[in-house]
Structure 1
Amino acid sequence: MTLFWTPSRERVISLPSRMMAAIAAGGVAVLTLPPFSILPLVPVAYATLLVLLRHLPVAKAALVGWAFGLGQFGFGLSWIAESFYVDAERFGAMAIPAVAGLSAGLAMFPAVAAALFAGVARRRAIGGVTACLVFATCWTAAEWLRGHVLTGFPWNLAGYALVDYAALRQPAAWVGSFGLSFLVILVGTLPAQALLAEVRPRWSISLLGVGIVVATWSAGVARLQLEPSSPPGLDLRIVQGNVPQQEKWAPENREATLTRYLDLSTLPGPVDILLWPETAFPGFLDEDVEARSRIAAALPDGSLLLTGVPDRVSTEEGTRYFNTVQTFDQTGVILTGYAKHRLVPFGEYVPFKGWLPIERMTEGLGDFTAGPGPRTLAFPGVPLVAVAICYEIIFPGHVVDGLFRPDWIFNATNDAWFGTSIGPEQHLASARMRAVEEGLPVVRAANTGISAIIDANGDLVARLGTGETGVIDAALPFTYPPTLYARFGDRTLLALIFVTWAVGLAAGLGGTHRHNKKTRTEAKSCW
């Protein structure tokens, strides 16, 4: 006996109605993510989508998946509009069209997941747990593609629904954030199949969902009990200057900005490493002797400053500009630096510049040039550090140099573009997941917030919220040995997908065999 939701009733629901429901479900999916993190809404969002896709041909399924993505990204990325109003006169009119266009483009990935699922489902006539396994695999594959196609944009992955739940996020150390997405989607869609199943299978499906949750939680608890390495005893000071983006690059404000950072940096307290955010100094610091002298004089004995600054280099082809983190000691000389290698399209450079008559949104004399890639910086008496500038921290498996493992990650960023929206909270969630995946603490310096110190379990040791001016003084947290994900990256996800397909196909064949056996038995009874 099935419940009220029968195939005959499903088929009378029009495609526009399905798409409207999918848009709403996509919006609900955002509420499962930070800063909301309403975990019970996971099945509401994804089980609804799975039900809406039932019995649809591939093309219509793609439209429903696209509608889900439109709701998901339209709501989840609405904060991007704020960046256009920083210079409203030049860019304000582009805010809504830009967010709408980006959301419509990114929605193609849920569309691909839905179409792939519909194609497999119609070809093999799958149902029950097998349908959930296949759907979770298709969704995870589409998320992985979103993180890698063109420049990639793995923002608001489904697995981030677990960020605020300490034990549940720990399996990212083994399977990464994409693996967590697989688990979230699998568990989130099982209620749909339980609702649609007959009484006996309904209980087994429900127990499977509970079992996955318990196993995930238990594995996470076990990892939280691991003995970490002893903290290195390094005293950090993060400076959050809280300089409004509208004022930051005005030449008449440069002196006030530098004075603010120096005043905060010289507050009483022990400091080994001083950390300023992305482009904290609004100019070319390596060319400003006076500014470097003032910084050097403010540094405590034996301490270092890591600060975000723009840089430029003259070449035969012209001047090249870089978004960098540079390191200074008390001599005022640059010890070493790191150049950002993942640049923000239209923010730091204009793709297809010869074809698109569009200005980039950040101040400067020219487009930025990408650096060579992840790099580990070494200083005498200081634990090795990897640097990720701004949104580089959102890329799973692409933050740390795999050949030269660091002891911690410094994330210098400037979220002043996005005010007090949900954007900085979502950005912080990505940083917390990188800490779990790599087994390394992440230290985050943001111009207007959210600055934070994150331990290797993804816990927030300290934070300064958006719009606050101040410092964070804390010791560098512990580290773990290289995690499974740190060693093998997304190969662990690939293994998970292959295993899932094997299990799903086996379950599907088993179901077909039982159905055929039942049919033969009923046929014999008729004789």
Structure 2
Amino acid sequence: MERIAESIMLSWGGKRILLAFAAGALAVLALPPFNFFAVLFISFPVLVWLLDGASGSAERGLLGRIRPAFATGWWFGFGYFVAGLWWLGNALLVDASGFAWALPLAVLGLPAILALFYGLATATAWLLWSDGIGRIAALGAAFGLIEWLRSFVLTGFPWNAMGYAAMPAPLMMQSVEFVGLFGMSALTVFVFSAPALVGTRQGAVTGLVAALVLFSAHLGYGWFALYRLDSTSAVASNAIVRIVQPAIDQSAKWDLEARERIFARLLAFSAVPPREGEPRPTHIIWPETALPFLLTENPGALSRIADMLQVGQTLVTGAVRFEDGVGGAPQRYYNTIYVIDDEGQIIGSADKAHLVPFGEYLPFENLLRRFGFTPVAETFGGFSAADRRGLLALPGGLGAVPLICYEAIFPALSSVPEARGDLLLNLTNDAWYGMTPGPYQHLRQAQLRAVETRSPLVRAANNGISAVVDTGGRIIGSLPLGEAGVFDVALPSPSDQFLLIRIRRFNFGLIIVIMVVMAVVARRSKNQRFD
């Protein structure tokens, strides 16, 4: 291993770029749908060894010295995000005549921007670089902080944060309740970088023991948390949810000629009798923007919904809502969840608060429209964001935290200020991305929100993957990607065994402080040896 490490450290030019890019791309195999997390034991040691050999020119000042480290991290990140997000281009091919020109921007441009974060992480870590365990502590702390920054800088896009790679199954998901996604990201980088110490013989025993202890604690806490959840008695929920997955092709979603067929399909799936001996559903859930029209333009729709619903049943559906402009202002459109009772009355609604840039709205709209840019979801000219977020009241005394589409990837949005919800309600439309890794990655991130909050997750997706997830992150009912149908599940109850968000944030901060202290001590020790 020492020869391999030395060869990587001494690499230069195109070989160094290729190694960094390949190491990042390889790490994607740890994510859904592959879940082969062991590849990180290759990706991160390669990154560490590349950084060992990333020395810049002292004559060019600080920027000159850190430039090679930044470039190494950027190429690593570029490989990771190209391999992990290439499927975003599929959304542009739904209307290829209007958006195919932007394919390079989605497949290469966005990864190039996201890679800047990883370049910043490696450059920051290099400032505290040493020759032992301190350097992997510096790398872990830098990645943890950068993944946190990625959750809100430029509106935020923490998709495929590195911590997800260490949580492929419920047993390995429970630690996120204790340290949060960004704490998991820091610990993931530290643990999977530990084999690099063997290649340089500096602090190998200490580092490997520390990594083994942390990994064992990760598994041990997973077992304990799941055992605690299963052994803790909870009041059973009386709600039976039916998830409807219509599998409507995105190209037909707003086709005028297909609207009646789509609506009839949704109604027919919703009215399917339950299995013999099983109770009928109390709540029927349709996916994001399931209604293929504006309710105000189809006055008979509510009547047909009422005819479909039996007494005591409720429909929860995604739809587009609009408001008339005030004082000559244009109409405003919202990506909305409606709650409709058995009399066809709208008794509740929640609008999406965190919109997708370039998908649902245009940043710097006045400027970009002059150059021909439009949102990908341009059917209604773009959406407006909700002014506030709150619990969505559902019949049966349930309070749902609404998460529309990719709102589920933001840990901060899995709770609302005024109260704790009884469930997380995630309506989405992943048909944009076809039969690609995208829907699998999206589901995994939503699963982790259930573990963090110890609340069940109810997820309805147009083309998959629809699922109901319990408070331990275990899927108790689902429909696979691309399959149309319904399934009924008794709604799990939220657990009263959960950690407050502020405790998770404190633990994340503590992890970063400990790692930085380790890095500083190691750096000072190295400097003293060479003085």
Aligned pair in 2 of structure 1 residues 117, 504: CA closer, same or farther (>3 Å)? Answer: closer
Q: Which amino acid in 1 is paired with 2:197?
A: Q
Q: What are structure 2's unaligned runs of at least 5 residues? A: 57-65, 275-279
Measured against aligned partners, the alpha-carbon deviations of 1:349-375 in whole angstroms (never above 9, x if no partner) come to: 111112212011114232200012432
1:423-442 pair list within 5 angstroms? 423-442=438-457
Kindly state the Cα deviation for residue 47 of structure 1 after the two structures are TM-superposed: 1.4
Residue of structure 1 equivalent to 2:61:
none
Kindly state the Cα deviation for residue 469 of structure 1 after the two structures are TM-superposed: 0.7
What CA distance in whole angstroms lies between the structure 1 residues aligned with 2:238 and 2:10? 66
Measured against aligned partners, the alpha-carbon deviations of 1:149-189 in whole angstroms (never above 9, x if no partner) come to: 01100001111113322222101011111111111111010
1:43 aligns with 2:30: no
Measured against aligned partners, the alpha-carbon deviations of 1:435-480 in whole angstroms (never above 9, x if no partner) come to: 1111111110000111001111111111111111100111111322
What CA distance in whole angstroms lies between the structure 2 residues aligned with 1:15 and 1:136? 26
1:512-523 pair list within 5 angstroms? none
1:137-148 pair list within 5 angstroms? 137-148=141-152
Greater CA deviation, 14-23 or 62-71? 14-23
Measured against aligned partners, the alpha-carbon deviations of 1:458-511 in whole angstroms (never above 9, x if no partner) come to: 111111111111001111113222632535453432232123223443455567
What CA distance in whole angstroms lies between the structure 1 residues aligned with 2:9 and 2:352? 51
What CA distance in whole angstroms lies between the structure 2 residues aligned with 1:476 and 1:273? 10
Q: Which amino acid in 2 is paired with 1:389?
A: I
Q: What are structure 1's unaligned runs of at least 5 residues? A: 520-527
Aligned partner of 1:462 among 477, 490, 493: 477
1:85-484 pair list within 5 angstroms? 85-121=93-129, 126-197=130-201, 201-226=203-228, 227=232, 229-269=234-274, 270-316=280-326, 317-356=329-368, 357=371, 358-481=373-496, 483-484=498-499
Aligned pair in 2 of structure 1 residues 307, 339: CA closer, same or farther (>3 Å)? Answer: same
1:69-88 pair list within 5 angstroms? 69-88=77-96
Aligned pair in 2 of structure 1 residues 163, 204: CA closer, same or farther (>3 Å)? Answer: closer
Residue of structure 2 equivalent to 1:63:
71
Aligned partner of 2:32 among 9, 34, 38: 34
SS at match of 1:315: coil
What CA distance in whole angstroms lies between the structure 2 residues aligned with 1:338 and 1:360? 22
Is residue 228–residue 480 contact of structure 1 (8 Å, CA) maintained in 2?
no
SS at match of 2:165: helix
Q: Which amino acid in 2 is paired with 1:73?
A: F
Residue of structure 1 equivalent to 2:63:
none
Measured against aligned partners, the alpha-carbon deviations of 1:184-212 in whole angstroms (never above 9, x if no partner) come to: 111010100122115xx433322222111
Q: Which amino acid in 2 is paired with 1:262?
A: L
Q: Which amino acid in 2 is paired with 1:388?
A: L
What CA distance in whole angstroms lies between the structure 2 residues aligned with 1:288 and 1:491? 51
Could you say what the CA RMSD is over the residues aligned between the two structures, in angstroms?
2.0
Is residue 271–residue 300 contact of structure 1 (8 Å, CA) maintained in 2?
no
What's the TM-score once normalised by structure 1's chain length? 0.92
SS at match of 1:302: coil
What CA distance in whole angstroms lies between the structure 1 residues aligned with 2:70 and 2:485? 48
Aligned pair in 2 of structure 1 residues 6, 331: CA closer, same or farther (>3 Å)? Answer: closer
What CA distance in whole angstroms lies between the structure 2 residues aligned with 1:130 and 1:88? 50
Measured against aligned partners, the alpha-carbon deviations of 1:216-252 in whole angstroms (never above 9, x if no partner) come to: 1111111111125233121000001111011110111
Residue of structure 1 equivalent to 2:22:
24
Aligned pair in 2 of structure 1 residues 510, 223: CA closer, same or farther (>3 Å)? Answer: farther
What CA distance in whole angstroms lies between the structure 1 residues aligned with 2:506 and 2:367? 37
Q: Which amino acid in 1 is paired with 2:393?
A: A
Q: Which amino acid in 2 is paired with 1:206?
A: L
What CA distance in whole angstroms lies between the structure 1 residues aligned with 2:265 and 2:420? 34
Is residue 34–residue 160 contact of structure 1 (8 Å, CA) maintained in 2?
no
1:3 aligns with 2:6: no
Residue of structure 1 equivalent to 2:60:
none
What CA distance in whole angstroms lies between the structure 2 residues aligned with 1:445 and 1:247? 19
SS at match of 1:430: helix
What CA distance in whole angstroms lies between the structure 1 residues aligned with 2:199 and 2:185? 22
Q: Which amino acid in 2 is paired with 1:368?
A: F
Kindly state the Cα deviation for residue 303 of structure 1 after the two structures are TM-superposed: 1.4
What's the TM-score once normalised by structure 2's chain length? 0.92
| Count, aligned residues | 508
Measured against aligned partners, the alpha-carbon deviations of 1:115-173 in whole angstroms (never above 9, x if no partner) come to: 1111222xxxx222111111100011111111110110000111111332222210101
What CA distance in whole angstroms lies between the structure 2 residues aligned with 1:393 and 1:277? 14
Aligned pair in 2 of structure 1 residues 204, 496: CA closer, same or farther (>3 Å)? Answer: closer
Identity of aligned residues (%): 35
Is residue 424–residue 449 contact of structure 1 (8 Å, CA) maintained in 2?
yes
Is residue 228–residue 479 contact of structure 1 (8 Å, CA) maintained in 2?
no
Kindly state the Cα deviation for residue 19 of structure 1 after the two structures are TM-superposed: 1.5
What CA distance in whole angstroms lies between the structure 1 residues aligned with 2:486 and 2:407? 23
Q: Which amino acid in 2 is paired with 1:21?
A: L
What CA distance in whole angstroms lies between the structure 2 residues aligned with 1:264 and 1:127? 62
Is residue 176–residue 485 contact of structure 1 (8 Å, CA) maintained in 2?
no
Q: Which amino acid in 2 is paired with 1:481?
A: D
Is residue 375–residue 381 contact of structure 2 (8 Å, CA) maintained in 1?
no
